[in-house]
């Protein structure tokens, strides 16, 4: 019998399922800090948005499992839990339909002035002419992020005979065609859509990405819907562009879920208090999955949804970090606007036996929304869901690469573009030894790296360095190998500050480069 503590107003079905299997369950909505003192024998915590801190974990010496009844788990210190040998699970997808339906509700409410019409009619007014609406049928919807929620948004809107433009860095063209959507660039989505719905995670790369440039591309009167994360949108830029283009803004997410004034009050046409997952069905599904996953964990050893898995004996965690970095570099080289349709890997030396432990980091390197801590089974499911093939090749150890790995990404069908990266650990540092035909690179990938590939000719590095110098950017390290054939050259310049994207474009044009991009790690 396991002792389970549910310190939240979770649907009672979780307790009912667990009690029926012989678990001792305490459900109480008191502060968690108080409950852990009363129930120090707790072995399982099932939480919603409660903070599970190191102090909470330390107060429960017998704790083995924390289950987040929902998708996001940023309120749980998963690294500290790992150090204490506590597994942390989530229940991804439980609220996907609820959020998708909320997006549809916002679209309809904004198109037909439901909120304003209700308020003025209750006041005794009759402003029928003022609230002339628009129809959803035949309009274009742009969806950024085609995970569980993004796909359900498209599916729920099919009945309106809408056109779907989507961006997802790992959605294959074949799968897009199968589900009836058209892959587009982010710029195309913002310029061609009547509705833009955001379903991407907030990362260093996506924070503030919906900025003046993208917002300026939107059609006058187009609608922007954010049920993802508040930080994705630059609110000041939206405030400025909205004046000119009369953009409609529907919002359900904020920096903090709490009462009080909201920064977007003056620019949001519809504001909701983060109701995306607030349906009886979503809560029941999350509660049911939390209970079922707990039972499967203890009775069958199923750990598919554990988000803070450790590493097996004999594997240095740095190799997982290396797999992530190599893939991320390959992804940048391939171009983040195009999706790989195939991944091929080779693990040399002793790493051969740990190939499956690298799949999670590799997928995380391709897709920012995939968590680095998830394992091979989660990675396989994610890739299958996106229509991407994963092949782990038999390594040729006669090459004597030692403990090294090669990761190849393929994009395209008729014309295939391939990026191949090899790396290893040297003196306890990550080391990228080869990119495509540029061997003996020996790049330690930390910091700000400007990477430029060009036709080999004298003076190119000088031009790049001069352009950086004029803009007061210093080069702190330089790698400049030739391709094996000798007709191409690669310049990797580590700089003291990141090179602005506009300057990267200027450098590409200045030296007529085949490619130029930032790699920041």
Same-domain pairing of 286 and 254: no
The answer to whether 109 and 115 have CB atoms below 8 angstroms apart is yes
> In sequence order, what are the residues at sequence separation of 6 or more whose Cβ sits closer than 8 angstroms to the Cβ of residue 199?
99, 143, 144, 145, 146, 147, 149, 150, 153, 227, 228
Domain span at 213: 96-271
- Number of Cβ atoms within 10 Å of the Cβ of 484: 12
Same domain assignment for residues 489 and 340: yes
Percent of residues in the chain assigned helix, strand, coil, to nearest 5: 35, 20, 40
**Is 17 in the same domain as 48?**
yes
Angle at 507 between CA 420 and CA 511, to 5 degrees: 80
Distance of CA 411 to the CA centre of its chain: 20
pLDDT at residue 414, as a whole number: 56
* φ, ψ for residue 12, nearest 5 deg: -65, -15
User: Does any domain span residue 305?
Assistant: no
Residue 457 lies in a domain: yes
Domain check: are 287 and 258 in the same one? no
Residues 22 and 78 in one domain: yes
The Cα 303–Cα 312 span in angstroms is 14
Contacts 24+ apart (CB under 8 A), 390-393: 390/342, 390/343, 390/345, 390/359, 391/342, 391/343, 391/344, 391/345, 392/344, 392/345, 392/346, 392/347, 392/355, 393/344, 393/345, 393/346
Burial 394-418 (b: 16+ CB within 10 A, else e): ebeeeeebebbbbbbbbbeeeeeeb
Same domain, 145 and 233: yes
pLDDT of the residue at 370: 83
Q: Are residues 69 and 115 in the same domain?
A: no
Q: Are residues 208 and 342 in the same domain?
A: no
Is residue 94 a contact partner of residue 286, using CB atoms and an 8 Å limit? yes
Identify the CATH number of the domain in which residue 159 sits: 3.40.50.720
pLDDT at 347: 96
Residues 87 and 180 placed together within one structural domain of the fold: no
Claim: this prediction has a pTM higher than 0.85? no
- 333 & 389 share domain: yes
Q: Check which CATH number belongs to the domain holding 421 and give it.
A: 3.30.70.260
Torsion of CA 210, 214, 220, 224, to 10 degrees: -20
Domain count, the chain: 3
In a domain, 37, yes or no: yes
Q: Which two tokens stand for residue 360?
A: 């999670």
String of b and e for 346-357 (b: at least 16 CB within 10 Å)? bbbeebeebbeb
Q: Which of 179, 226, 167 is nearest to 385 (CA)?
A: 179
Q: Specify the pLDDT at position 415.
A: 58
Nearest to 33 by CA among 11, 51, 6, 9: 51
Longest dimension (CA), the chain: 85
Contact 55, 77 (CB under 8 A): no
Pair (362, 489) in one structural domain: yes
**Is 440 contained in some domain?**
yes
- 276 lies in a domain? no
Residue 146 lies in a domain: yes
* 77 and 130 share one domain: no
Residue by residue, pLDDT tens for the chain (521 residues) are: 899 999 998 999 999 999 999 999 999 989 999 999 999 999 999 999 899 999 999 999 999 999 999 888 888 999 899 889 999 999 988 999 999 999 999 999 999 999 999 999 999 999 999 999 999 999 999 999 998 899 999 999 999 999 999 999 888 888 888 899 999 999 999 999 999 999 998 887 789 999 999 999 999 999 999 999 999 999 999 999 999 999 999 999 999 888 999 999 999 999 999 999 899 999 999 999 999 999 999 999 988 889 887 777 788 889 999 999 999 999 999 887 777 889 999 999 999 999 988 998 999 999 888 877 677 778 888 888 888 999 999 888 888 889 999 999 998 665 578 999 999 999 999 999 999 999 999 999 999 999 999 999 999 999 999 999 999 999 999 999 999 877 899 999 999 999 999 999 999 999 999 999 999 99
Q: Is 222 part of a structural domain of the chain? A: yes
The packing angle between helices 317-334 and 359-366, to 10°, is: 30
**Contact, 135 vs 112, CB < 8 A?**
no
Total Cβ atoms within 10 A of residue 454: 21
Evaluate whether residue 447 is within a structural domain: yes
């Amino acid at each position: 019998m396991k002792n389970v503590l549910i310190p939240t107003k979770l649907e009672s079905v979780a307790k009912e399922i667990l009690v029926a299997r012989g678990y001792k369950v305490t459900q109480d909505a008191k502060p968690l800090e108080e409950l852990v003192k009363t129930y120090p024998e707790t072995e399982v915590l099932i939480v919603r948005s409660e903070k599970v801190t190191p102090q909470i974990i330390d107060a429960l010496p017998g704790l083995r499992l924390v289950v987040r009844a929902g998708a996001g788990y940023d309120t749980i210190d998963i690294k500290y839990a790992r150090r204490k040998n506590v597994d942390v699970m989530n229940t991804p997808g439980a609220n996907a339909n609820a959020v998708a339906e909320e997006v549809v509700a916002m679209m309809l409410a904004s198109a037909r002035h439901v909120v304003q019409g209700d308020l003025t009619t209750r006041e005794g007014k009759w402003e029928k002419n003022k609230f002339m609406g628009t129809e959803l049928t035949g309009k274009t919807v742009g969806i950024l992020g085609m995970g569980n929620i993004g796909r359900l948004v498209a599916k729920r809107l099919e009945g309106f005979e809408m056109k779907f433009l989507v961006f997802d860095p790992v959605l294959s063209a074949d799968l897009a065609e199968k589900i009836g959507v058209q892959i587009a660039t982010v710029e195309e989505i913002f310029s061609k859509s009547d509705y833009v719905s955001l379903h991407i995670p907030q990362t260093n790369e996506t924070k503030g990405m919906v900025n003046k440039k993208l917002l300026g591309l939107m059609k006058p009167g187009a609608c922007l819907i954010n049920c993802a994360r508040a930080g994705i949108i630059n609110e000041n830029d939206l405030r400025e562009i909205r004046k000119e283009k009369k953009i409609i803004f529907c919002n359900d997410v904020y920096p903090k879920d709490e009462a009080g004034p909201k920064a977007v009050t003056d620019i949001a046409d519809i504001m909701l208090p983060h109701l995306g997952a607030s349906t009886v069905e979503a809560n029941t599904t999350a509660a049911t999955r939390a209970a079922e996953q707990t039972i499967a964990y203890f009775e069958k050893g199923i750990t598919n949804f554990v988000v803070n898995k450790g590493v097996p004996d004999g594997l240095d965690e740095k190799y997982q970090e290396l797999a992530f970095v190599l893939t991320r570099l390959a992804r940048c080289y391939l171009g983040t606007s195009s999706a790989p349709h195939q991944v091929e890997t080779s693990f040399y030396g002793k790493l051969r036996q740990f190939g499956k432990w690298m799949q999670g980091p590799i997928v995380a390197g391709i897709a920012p929304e995939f968590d680095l801590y998830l394992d091979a089974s989660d990675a396989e499911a994610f890739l299958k869901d996106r229509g991407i093939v994963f092949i782990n090749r038999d390594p040729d150890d006669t090459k004597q690469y030692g403990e090294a790995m090669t990761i190849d990404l393929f994009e395209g069908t008729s014309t295939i573009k391939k990026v191949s990266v090899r790396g290893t650990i040297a003196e306890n540092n990550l080391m990228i030894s080869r990119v495509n035909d540029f061997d003996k690179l020996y790049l330690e990938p930390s910091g700000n790296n400007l990477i430029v590939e060009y036709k080999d000719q004298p003076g190119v590095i000088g031009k790049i360095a001069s352009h950086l110098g004029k803009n007061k950017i210093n080069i702190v390290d330089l790698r400049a190998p030739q391709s094996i054939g000798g007709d191409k050259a690669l310049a990797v310049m580590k700089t003291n500050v990141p090179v602005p994207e506009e300057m990267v474009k200027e450098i590409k044009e200045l030296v007529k480069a085949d490619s130029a991009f930032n790699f920041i790690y």
